[in-house]
Amino acid sequence: MIKKQTLLLPAFLIAIAGFFLMSCESGSTSSEADSEEQAQSNADNDSDFQISLAQWSLHKTFFGGPINDWGQFGRMLMESPDSLLQGEDPMNFPEIAAGYGVNSIELVNTFYYTKAENEVYWIEFKKKCDEFGVSVGLIMCDALGNLGDADSATRLAAVENHYKWVDVAKFLGAHSIRVNAEGEGTAEEVAANAVDGLSKLGEYGASKGINIIVENHGGYSSDGTWLASVMQSVGKDNVGNTS
């Protein structure tokens, strides 16, 4: 009996040792796999083709829910824009994007409507971007007036309303702002007025090194032929359109 127990003990110890050896090897393999995955992620981030996150994709996050009444939304944007922000603080957008593994973001001016000329705010926002390794690609600009308005004074006011967002884009290191080519009248009339408005805005953008990108965003701008004609008439290297 004593001999049998003596033989079993070494066998038991060998089995335990083998278990720990396999565990160590498994842990090493897992660690190596994690390192390879991180290296691949870093390689992807160095690609010529980067994914950017449009802030409007998360509009429910910042507004605290869906927009059920667009008319009311538009009125509140003009009267009390900050009251619309019932959810996450838009200042945290760089951190949110970084959490998704995205390092380029596209802002929407709607979430910062009262902050356009707030230098302190944008200094803090840029610090957030730097902290989380996120860059701003462009700013989408809405509710600033019609660049194709039939009235020349109103149209010029709309052009000048965009200047402050060109300035913010420049400060944040963005390459573009996105605008709309809207107005009242026939297709030909709106086109002529939009050419004038976009040309003036393009001149200011060029002085700051910022591109002006028109989105096919409803109305005549959703007609590719119409929009291409407007772009051709503007004829500026820094004024173009999204596809």
- pLDDT tens-digit series, residues 38-65: 334 444 555 566 799 999 999 999 999 9
If asked whether residues 58 and 170 sit together in one domain, one would say yes
If asked whether residues 31 and 139 sit together in one domain, one would say no
What was the pLDDT predicted at 227? 96
If asked whether residues 104 and 140 sit together in one domain, one would say yes
Q: Find out whether 202 and 212 touch, Cβ atoms under 8 Å.
A: yes
- pLDDT tens-digit profile of 213-239? 999 988 999 999 999 999 999 999 999
What was the pLDDT predicted at 242? 79
**Distance between CA 152 and CA 228 in Å, rounded?**
23
Mean pLDDT of the chain: 85
Q: Find out whether 241 and 207 touch, Cβ atoms under 8 Å.
A: no
Q: Which of the four pLDDT bands, split at 50, 70 and 90, describes residue 37?
A: very low
Q: Angle at the Cα of 69 (from 143 to 121), degrees rounded to 5?
A: 45
What is the rounded average pLDDT of the residues 101-105?
96
Structural domain range at position 178: 48-241
If asked whether residues 139 and 38 sit together in one domain, one would say no
If asked whether residues 3 and 85 sit together in one domain, one would say no
What is the rounded average pLDDT of the residues 145-171?
98
For the domain that residue 156 is a member of, what is the CATH number? Answer: 3.20.20.150
If asked whether residues 119 and 221 sit together in one domain, one would say yes
If asked whether residues 62 and 87 sit together in one domain, one would say yes
If asked whether residues 86 and 193 sit together in one domain, one would say yes
If asked whether residues 97 and 137 sit together in one domain, one would say yes
Whether residue 180 is predicted with pLDDT greater than 70 in this model: the reply is yes
Count of the separate structural domains present in the chain: 2
Tell me the one-letter amino acid at 190: V
What is the rounded average pLDDT of the residues 7-11?
38
If asked whether residues 34 and 130 sit together in one domain, one would say no
Q: Find out whether 163 and 94 touch, Cβ atoms under 8 Å.
A: no
**Distance between CA 108 and CA 111 in Å, rounded?**
6
- In a 10 Å sphere around its CB, with 0-12 CB exposed, 13-18 middle and 19+ buried, how is residue 144 labelled? buried
If asked whether residues 37 and 127 sit together in one domain, one would say no
What was the pLDDT predicted at 14? 36
Residue closest to 181 by CA, chosen among 149, 156, 203: 149
Q: Find out whether 142 and 113 touch, Cβ atoms under 8 Å.
A: no
If asked whether residues 115 and 15 sit together in one domain, one would say no
pTM over 0.95: no
